[in-house]
Amino acid sequence: MEEADHSASRSFPLDTWLHNGSSIMVAGEAEVSMRVVLLLLWHGLSLFPTDLSQAGSSQHLSILEVVIPLKVTNRGRGAKTPVCLSYSLQFGGWRHIVHMKAKKLLVSRHLPVFTYMDQHALQQDQPFVPDDCYYHGYVEGVPESLVALSTCCGGFRGTLHINDLTYEIEPIRHSTTFEHVVYTVNTNETQFPSMRCGLTKKQTAHQQLEFEKAEKSTLKQNSTDNWWTHSWFLELAVVIDHNFFIYSQSNFSRVQEDVFLVVNIVDSIYQQLGTYVILIGTEIWNHGNVFPMVNIEQVLEDFSQWKQISLSQLQDDAAHIFIKNSLIIVLGIDYVAGICHLPIDCGINNFQGDPWSLFAITLAHELGHTLGMQHDEEVCLCGQGGCIMNAVRVPAERFTNCSYADFTKTTLNQGSCLHSPPSPGEVFMLKHCGNSVVEGEEECDCGSIKQCEQDPCCLLNCALRPGAACAFGLCCQDCKFMPSGELCRHQVNECDLPEWCNGTSHQCPEDGYVQDGIPCSDSAYCYQKRCNNHDEQCREIFGEGAQSASQNLAIKKINSQGSHFGHCGVNGTTYLKCNTSDIFCGRVQCENVGDIPHLRDHSALRHSHI
DSSP 186-230: PSS--SSSPPB-S--HHHHHHHHHHT-----BPPPTT--TTTS-S
What confidence tens digit (pLDDT) does each residue in 212-222 have? 443 333 333 33
Residue range 51-80: mean pLDDT, rounded? 63
Angle (CA) 414-369-272 rounded to 5° is 80
pLDDT more than 90, % of the chain = 33
Element (H, E) at 70: strand 61-71
Q: Rounded CA gap, 179 and 170, in Å?
A: 9
pLDDT tens figures, 424-470: 544 444 456 766 778 888 899 887 677 788 899 999 888 999 999 99
CA angle 369, 372, 378 (to 5 degrees): 80
Q: How large is the average pLDDT for residues 171-190?
A: 79
* pLDDT score at 440: 80
Which amino acids are annotated catalytic?
Answer: 366
Closest by CA to 603, choosing from 233, 225, 275, is 225
Mean pLDDT over each residue of the chain, to the nearest integer: 78
Given this model, what pLDDT does residue 48 score? 37
Residue 9 has pLDDT above 70, yes or no: no
Report the alpha-carbon distance of residue 299 to residue 536 in Å, rounded.
56
**Could you give the dihedral angle defined by the CA atoms of residues 27, 28, 31 and 35, in that order, rounded to the nearest 10 degrees?**
-30
Dihedral sign, CA of 372, 377, 381, 382? positive
Provide the pLDDT for residue 471.
Answer: 95
- The conformation of residue 271, written as its DSSP 8-state character, comes to G
State percent of the chain over pLDDT 70.
Answer: 76
466: preceding bond cis by omega (within 30 degrees): no
Inter-residue contact 338 to 211 (CB < 8 Å): yes
Higher pLDDT, 185 or 348: 348
Residue 391: name the closest of 433, 441, 333, 436 by CA: 333
Q: Is residue 306 pLDDT above 80, yes or no?
A: yes
Q: Is pLDDT larger for residue 84 or for residue 300?
A: 300
Task: Please give the span between the terminal C-alpha atoms of the chain, in angstroms, as a whole number.
Answer: 56
Instruction: Give the model confidence (pLDDT) of 241-254 as tens digits.
Output: 999 999 999 999 88
Nearest Cα residue to 279 out of 24, 465, 31, 103: 103
pLDDT in tens, 410-436: 988 888 889 877 765 444 444 567 667
Q: Which segments are annotated as binding site for Zn(2+)?
A: 365, 369, 375
Burial of 92 (0-12, 13-18, 19+ CB in 10 A): middle
Which tens digit of pLDDT belongs to each residue from 528-547? 888 877 787 788 788 888 88
Rounded CA-CA distance 112/314 in Å is 9
- When pLDDT is cut at 50, 70 and 90, the band that residue 600 belongs to is low
DSSP code for 305: H
Q: What is the pLDDT of residues 326-385, one digit of tens each?
A: 889 899 999 999 999 989 999 999 998 888 989 999 999 999 999 999 999 989 998 877
**Distance (Å, whole) CA 518 – CA 495:** 8
Spell out the domains of the chain, with CATH numbers in brackets: 2-104+128-185 (no CATH), 201-212+230-418 (3.40.390.10), 431-467 (no CATH), 473-532 (4.10.70.10), 546-610 (no CATH)
Burial class (CB in 10 A: 0-12, 13-18, 19+), 205: exposed
Q: Which residue has the higher pLDDT, 524 or 131?
A: 524
Dist. CA 317–CA 473, nearest whole Å: 31
Categorise residue 157: left if φ over 0, alpha if ψ from -120 to 50, beta otherwise. Answer: beta
Whether the Cβ atoms of residue 460 and residue 466 lie closer than 8 Å to each other: no
* Residue closest to 22 by CA, chosen among 43, 49, 45: 49
Write phi, then psi, for 547 (nearest 5 degrees).
Answer: -150, 170
Got the DSSP string for 12-66? E-HHHHBSTTS-B---S-----TT-EE----S---SS---HHHH--GGGEEEEEE
Quote the pLDDT of residue 61. 60
If you count them, how many residues does the chain have?
Answer: 610
Strands 61-71 and 318-323: unpaired
Average pLDDT over residues 138-152: 86
When pLDDT is cut at 50, 70 and 90, the band that residue 573 belongs to is: low
Given pLDDT bands bounded at 50, 70 and 90, which one contains residue 56? very low
369: left (phi over 0), alpha (psi -120 to 50) or beta: alpha
State mean pLDDT over 188-199. Answer: 64
The pLDDT of residue 199 is above 90: no
- In sequence order, the 6+-apart residues with CB closer than 8 A to the CB of 433 are 442, 445, 461, 462
Give burial (CB, 10 Å; 0-12/13-18/19+) of 278. Answer: buried
- Please state the three-class secondary structure of 542-566 as a single string: HCCCCEECCCHHHHHHHHCCCECCE
Residues 6+ apart with CB under 8 A from 474: 488, 489, 501, 506, 507, 508
Max distance between CA atoms of the chain, in angstroms, equals 87
Distances (CA, A) of 153 to 22, 149, 257: 21, 11, 10
Q: Give the other-Cβ count within 10 Å of 222's Cβ.
A: 12
